C-alpha cells in the first residue's frame, strides 16, 4: 500500500531530474537522464511488486514515465531550436537594418549634395538674370541715346 505513493514521489524526483537535464542540456542530456532514471527505477519498481497485476501497473507507470520524459526532452529541444532560429533571424535582421541604414545615409548624403548643387545653380541663374536685366537696361539706354543722336543730326 505504501509503494504507490513512494513510487509516485520517486517518479516525481526523476521527472524533475529529466526536466532540468533537458531544459539546460537539450535533447541528449534529457534522453540520458531518462535512460538513467528508467535503469534506476525499473528494478526497484518491478521487483518489489509481487502480483502480476501490480507488476503490470508498475510497468505501465514506467512506460508513462518514459513517454512523458521523452516528450519533455523533445519539446525542450524544439524550444531550444526555435530560440536559436529566432536569435539567428534577429541577428540577420539587425545586419539588414544596419546595411539599409547605411544605404539610406549614403542616399541622404547624395540628396543633400544634389540639393546644394541645385541651390548653387539657382543662385547663379538668379545672378545671371540680374546681370542680364542690367545689360538690357544699358543696351536700351544706349539704343535710346543712339536714336536721339541720330535724330538730332538730321
Domain total of the chain: 1
Q: Which domain holds residue 74?
A: 2-153
pLDDT at 136: 96
Residue 150 or residue 10, greater confidence = 150
Reported as a pLDDT band with limits 50, 70 and 90, residue 12 is confident
**Contact (Cβ atoms closer than 8 angstroms) between residue 58 and residue 44:** no
10 Å CB burial of residue 73 (0-12, 13-18, 19+) is buried
Separation of alpha carbons 146 and 129, rounded Å:
25
Q: Is the pLDDT of residue 95 over 60?
A: yes
When pLDDT is averaged across residues 14-37 and rounded to a whole number, the result is 83
Amino acid at each position: 500500500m505504501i509503494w504507490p505513493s513512494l513510487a509516485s514521489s520517486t517518479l516525481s524526483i526523476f521527472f524533475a531530474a529529466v526536466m532540468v537535464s533537458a531544459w539546460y542540456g537539450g535533447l541528449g542530456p534529457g534522453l540520458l537522464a531518462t535512460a538513467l532514471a528508467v535503469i534506476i527505477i525499473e528494478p526497484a519498481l518491478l521487483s518489489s511488486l509481487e502480483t502480476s497485476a501490480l507488476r503490470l501497473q508498475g510497468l505501465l507507470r514506467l512506460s508513462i514515465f518514459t513517454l512523458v520524459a521523452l516528450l519533455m526532452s523533445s519539446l525542450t529541444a524544439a524550444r531550444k531550436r526555435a530560440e536559436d532560429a529566432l536569435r539567428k533571424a534577429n541577428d540577420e535582421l539587425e545586419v539588414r537594418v544596419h546595411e539599409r541604414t547605411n544605404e539610406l545615409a549614403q542616399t541622404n548624403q547624395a540628396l543633400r549634395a544634389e540639393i546644394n548643387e541645385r541651390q548653387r545653380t539657382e543662385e547663379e541663374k538668379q545672378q545671371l538674370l540680374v546681370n542680364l536685366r542690367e545689360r538690357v537696361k544699358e543696351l536700351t539706354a544706349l539704343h535710346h541715346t543712339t536714336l536721339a543722336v541720330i535724330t538730332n543730326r538730321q
